[in-house]
Amino acid sequence: MNGVIEYLQDEHTKLNIIKLIKNNLYLYHQINTNEKIQSFSGSIYNYFVSECIQNNQYISLSNETINRINDIYINLVKKLKQISTDNYDNELIESIVINHREQLLKALSENEYHKCDNQLYIPCSEYSGSFQYTLLRLNQFRLLEPVMDIGCGKDYELLKYLEHAGYKDIFGIDQYISDNNYIACTNWFDYKFEPNKWGTVIAHMSFSNHFRRSLINEDINLEKYKDKYAEILRSLQINGLFIYTPSIKQIENSINKSYYSVAYYENMNDRNLDTVVIKRNL
């Protein structure tokens, strides 16, 4: 997170943002409906979250923080659209930017789910739908619906691929805002996986990756991950599948095998990267 905090405190980037705002004042005036405000602020919210995730893919924004940052961007857009295009006050623009950055810093510093700092620099990627489909062996199963993709990514590539393949009842969750109404912007800890609901739950390089890391570090989120994982297993319908990579062998070993079966599919000669398919039998 340090990179984003430095970015928010850096004088040079502040001046660049002020310049960018001045050059785009005419654009803000065209944002004249609530729908346009939400859409524009949503895209700059996503840009900010993407900067945070690129900086540290393990950042976990609580729903409270997600809503707070979203509100900060909505307020910013509302303020910018009131500034006159030809007779603007430089000091006003500067104070809007300073105040906006202070609010973001405060929201990040008070984010409930991000107490483990001092991260390594670990970049984050999103993968194509066909890559995920193949690696997760989704062609080998008839996926029961509804399907949930946890941490589906800003561009929800796998869901688009599944939609194209004919699946209809598909959903995703992520920290990004989407204008697609089958994707919810939420932290997975704040999302309730209802019992017996899902035909298929998928998590590619997302939930289990973060869970593994929490397990290795024995950090403060570990119990939350264990509880959420158990909640996900209970949320499967009978014959439903939970399919994910990377694997978390220690956790999979502890699953009650009378209720669930566990299968592994090897990837790239690294057993940590196995695709795991858990099936609810009873």
Q: From the CB of 185, what's the least distance to ligand SAM, in Å? A: 9
Q: From the CB of 127, what's the least distance to ligand SAM, in Å? A: 4
- How many CB atoms are closer than 10 A to CB 99? 14
Residue whose C-alpha is closest to residue 233's, from 270, 267, 260: 260
Sheet holding 147-150, edge to edge: 183-185, 170-174, 147-150, 198-204, 236-245, 275-280, 260-265
3-class state of residue 239 by DSSP? strand
Q: From the CB of 10, what's the least distance to ligand SAM, in Å? A: 24
For residue 24, give both structure tokens. 């785009």
Q: From the CB of 184, what's the least distance to ligand SAM, in Å? A: 9
Nearer to ligand SAM, 98 or 165 (CB): 165
Residues 6+ apart with CB under 8 A from 72: 100, 103, 104, 107
Site for ligand SAM contains 60 (CB under 6 A): yes
Q: Which range of residues in 79-87, 98-106, 114-122, 204-212 is near ligand SAM by CB under 6 A? A: 204-212
Q: From the CB of 133, what's the least distance to ligand SAM, in Å? A: 11
- Residue list 114-173, contact with ligand SAM (CB under 6 A): 124-127, 132, 151-154, 157, 173
Contact criterion met (CB below 8 Å) for 65 and 112? yes
Q: Among 48, 182, 188, 211, which residue sits at the site for ligand SAM (rule: CB under 6 A)?
A: 188
Contact criterion met (CB below 8 Å) for 114 and 52? no
Residue whose C-alpha is closest to residue 4's, from 42, 43, 61: 61
Q: Among 53, 74, 96, 276, which residue sits at the site for ligand SAM (rule: CB under 6 A)?
A: 53
Residue nearest to ligand SAM (CB): 151
Q: Among 175, 178, 221, 245, which residue sits at the site for ligand SAM (rule: CB under 6 A)?
A: 175
Site for ligand SAM contains 204 (CB under 6 A): yes
Residue whose C-alpha is closest to residue 45's, from 115, 129, 113, 104: 104
Q: From the CB of 132, what's the least distance to ligand SAM, in Å? A: 5
Q: What is the Cα–Cα distance from 227 to 199, expressed in whole angstroms?
A: 20
The contact set with ligand SAM (CB under 6 A) reads 53, 57, 60, 124-127, 132, 151-154, 157, 173-176, 187-188, 204-206, 210
